[in-house]
Structure 1
């Protein structure tokens, strides 16, 4: 494809990794179409010179409408799709309702795959395209305490991405996952908002843990620690977009690679000891 045709669609760009990557790719010469859920966020992105659409991944109608708009403004050509949008919930499994789980899976998995499927025919027609899923370094089945729903959706997403990559073999369409640290993508503000009814519940035996974790995740240092990693992740995305044979998975930054390796090779009992020590030291939570 010619340079002027290298248009990428990025979901979840109101803040965090999505916003950073949108600006980063734009500076690298890509035409970026960013999606957000709220008009106020769209206004901010447009002021920064980015094209922006309103997308709700919980709505099939919104997904269909956005796919049509993207193809309309790009004359039916799309170079890459970066599935970054997602939510995280803070809560013990026993405190989660069916609606809590459904919300997480609808956004992180069902809506993401539905949007992806909307563009696969386009990629097939043009004999090429890049599909990128933003996952997590623990997407190999490891479940962090109180972060189970998000972990489950990322593991499921990784499995579907693996199947999709094999199904699209020899089509010229690449499928890659980028796996940063858990919560490295600045889901923290939304996580606390979506989880407020769980955190403030009076009957949970985990109330003290919720309070400690809320303090940790609300601390400015936690957000700052996530922010500095964005450029490393964005560079990984650019690497995939520029590659003729993109890697199936990139785990970045280095701390994420350590986590990924530990989950893969350490026995579960040792992982638990290390995790519980880290939680107690980092937030005061004891399990």
Structure 2
């Protein structure tokens, strides 16, 4: 019986999900590729992937059932890749509560509920890697994409906490922050605009117009990006960071965002200080969050 590691990847009908499936297959891994419409996965099936239908926004109980079904195929899942998602654009105010909730149901709660469905198996086996596909937007808080960026910031935060909580079970977790890759993410299916159009939000509108206009000219090759992700997360001799920017644009933009935040903190440091009780002496051995 084959004992090669198993990838389970969500959102594999196109883009990075499709390319990560191919990259994993090319490296000899077994792959369970999923998408809402299983008929979009026939090409991956022909290349050797097992295909399953999965809607990550399904009720949590249904995802528990799915996890059991998927686990029983090979008796293991070594890499759970949470890739399914879409872009909800427009100024924050332009998005209805329902549109914002829908974005978080897919990009955040789908990841949370599916991961929780697999964690009992990973913890019991005391091995496995969770790979959450975030975005450089999670660190950039872009005008015109605030709802989307907030959803990815939540994924980054969950990933960092999981990387700490699950270390005792030898389960790793990493958040991947891709830059701009030439995928269908900005087409009408994967990119949506808030339905409450407010002309006064000029910068937000310019962001969306520019984002859609560059479709098909992005600098990132999704096949190369996917191969880099698969190669990086399958390293067994190196601890993974909780977050990895993928693409030169992602590296430069995320690094720049961190540097600006540090400079801003230093600039206003005096306003952060002076709030302790009079005479308080910090105990370095005391519990802190």
Q: Cα offset for 1:147?
A: 0.7
Return the match for 1:205 from 189, 192, 199. Answer: 199
The answer to whether the aligner puts 1:266 opposite 2:260 as a matched pair is yes
| Deviating 4+ runs (over 6 angstroms) | 207-211
Q: Cα offset for 1:216?
A: 3.9
The residue matched to 1:13 in structure 2 has which SS?
coil
- 2:152 is matched with 154
The residue matched to 1:205 in structure 2 has which SS?
coil
Greater gyration radius? 2
Flag the 1:194–1:122 CA change in 2: closer, same or farther, 3 A: same
- 1:26 is matched with 25
C-alpha contact (below 8 Å) 1:16/1:227 kept by paired residues: no
- Alpha-carbon displacement from aligned partner over 1:99-122 (angstroms, at most 9, x marks no partner): 111111011111111111111111
The answer to whether the aligner puts 1:241 opposite 2:231 as a matched pair is no
Q: Which runs of 5+ in 1 are unaligned?
A: 271-287
Provide the rounded CA distance (Å) in 2 between the counterparts of 1:158 and 1:186.
23
Provide the rounded CA distance (Å) in 2 between the counterparts of 1:39 and 1:3.
25
Flag the 1:246–1:186 CA change in 2: closer, same or farther, 3 A: farther
Provide the rounded CA distance (Å) in 1 between the counterparts of 2:188 and 2:222.
19
The answer to whether the aligner puts 1:179 opposite 2:195 as a matched pair is no
C-alpha contact (below 8 Å) 1:42/1:54 kept by paired residues: no
C-alpha contact (below 8 Å) 1:233/1:253 kept by paired residues: no
C-alpha contact (below 8 Å) 1:37/1:55 kept by paired residues: yes
Q: Cα offset for 1:242?
A: 2.4
TM-score, length of structure 1 as denominator length: 0.81
C-alpha contact (below 8 Å) 1:89/1:150 kept by paired residues: yes
- 2:117 is matched with 118
Flag the 1:213–1:168 CA change in 2: closer, same or farther, 3 A: closer
The answer to whether the aligner puts 1:73 opposite 2:73 as a matched pair is yes
Return the match for 2:192 from 191, 194, 203. Answer: 194
Q: Cα offset for 1:45?
A: 3.1
The answer to whether the aligner puts 1:166 opposite 2:159 as a matched pair is no
- Number of equivalenced pairs: 262
Flag the 1:210–1:246 CA change in 2: closer, same or farther, 3 A: same
Provide the rounded CA distance (Å) in 2 between the counterparts of 1:193 and 1:132.
22
Q: What value does the CA root-mean-square deviation take over the aligned residues?
A: 2.8
The residue matched to 2:63 in structure 1 has which SS?
helix
Q: Which has the higher helix share?
A: 1
- 1:41 is matched with 40
